């Protein structure tokens, strides 16, 4: 089946301190347009498990898949994206390690961002504090910030030490959204990742969560990726 028209599915992969609902503002319009959208709710226990759940979700999709990964979700789509049903990758303020790199190694090469001074490691999990919400999603409304805090996913401390198990961006077309005001993943790291993967890059005046603060602009990128995949498939 060719990835033409609405015959492409989107699988959205969330990062730390989040769940699939963080994509609600972009999934809603895409669903209304007739696209299939899926968002696996993985546990943030190990990268291998999160990639496994995402791979299972890809298997359930009705059409060829474009993976959309936010933050740590970029690591997940980097590993899961080697699946032969994946036709494109969209990274949102995301990590994108090579197969022999960990998320932690990537971040250690750039200045530490403010959010990591606003975490609480307790009961075997890394919690984002109320003060850390400003660094994570400072351009949201107060009500939205409260919801992000209330629904945060809490990772195990060693989650960033694992390798993704593959590097899909080496062989799949990629798009990358850079948050110029990101205080969680350093913007220079984002730029370096976009350049290394030869991604089509976009810079937004946003915090770490442009899919919530600027959903229409994120939708433009996702639609552009779907359109590009369609053209490539049609000409193949």
Burial zone of 2 (CB within 10 Å; 0-12 exposed, 13-18 middle, 19+ buried): middle
pLDDT score of 13: 98
Cβ(159)–Cβ(47) under 8 Å?
Answer: yes
Residue 50, phi then psi, degrees to nearest 5: -65, -40
DSSP code at position 202: E
pLDDT at 102 over 60: yes
pLDDT at 148 over 60: yes
Residue ranges per structural domain of the chain: 9-235
* Helix/strand/coil percent split, the chain, to 5: 45, 15, 40
pLDDT score of 230: 60
| pLDDT tens, residue by residue, 202-221 | 999 999 999 999 999 999 99
The whole-chain average pLDDT of the chain stands at: 92
Residue 33, phi then psi, degrees to nearest 5: -80, -5
Burial zone of 142 (CB within 10 Å; 0-12 exposed, 13-18 middle, 19+ buried): exposed
* Alpha-carbon distance values, 129 to 77, 121, 177, 198 (Å): 27, 10, 26, 35
Strand-pairing partners, residue 137, are none
Grade residue 163 by pLDDT with cuts at 50, 70 and 90.
confident
Left, alpha or beta for 165 (phi > 0: left; psi -120 to 50: alpha)?
A: left
| pLDDT tens, residue by residue, 10-69 | 999 999 999 999 999 999 999 999 999 999 999 999 999 999 999 999 999 999 999 999
Lowest mean pLDDT among 95-99, 100-104, 201-205: 100-104
Which tokens go with 101?
A: 């790199």
pLDDT at 4 over 50: no
CATH architecture of 9-235: 3-Layer(aba) Sandwich (3.40)
What is the C-alpha separation between 189 and 191, in angstroms, rounded? 5
Grade residue 111 by pLDDT with cuts at 50, 70 and 90.
confident
pLDDT score of 5: 46
Grade residue 107 by pLDDT with cuts at 50, 70 and 90.
confident
What is the 3-class SS of 159-189, one letter each residue? Answer: HHHCCCCCCHHHCCCEEEEEECCCCCCCHHH
């Amino acid at each position: 089946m060719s990835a033409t028209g609405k015959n492409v599915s989107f699988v959205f992969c969330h990062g730390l301190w989040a769940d699939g609902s963080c994509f609600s503002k972009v999934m809603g319009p895409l669903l209304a347009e007739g696209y299939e959208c899926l968002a696996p709710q993985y546990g943030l226990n190990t990268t291998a498990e999160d990639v496994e759940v995402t791979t299972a979700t890809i298997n359930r999709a009705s059409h060829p898949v474009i993976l959309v990964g936010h933050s740590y979700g970029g690591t997940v789509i980097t590993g899961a994206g080697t699946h032969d049903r994946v036709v494109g990758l969209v990274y949102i303020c995301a990590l994108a390690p090579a197969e022999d790199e960990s998320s932690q190694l990537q971040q250690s090469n750039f200045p530490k961002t403010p959010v990591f001074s606003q975490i609480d490691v307790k009961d075997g999990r890394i919690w984002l504090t109320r003060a850390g919400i400003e660094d994570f999603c400072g351009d949201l409304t107060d009500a939205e910030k409260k919801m992000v805090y209330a629904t945060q996913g809490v990772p195990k401390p060693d989650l960033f030490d694992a390798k993704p198990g593959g590097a899909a961006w080496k062989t799949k077309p990629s798009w990358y959204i850079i948050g110029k005001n990101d205080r969680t993943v350093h913007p220079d790291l984002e730029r370096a990742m976009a350049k290394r993967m030869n991604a089509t890059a976009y810079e937004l005046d946003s915090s770490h969560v442009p899919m919530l603060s600027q959903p229409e602009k994120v939708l433009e990128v996702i639609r552009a990726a779907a359109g590009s995949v369609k053209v490539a498939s049609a000409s193949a």
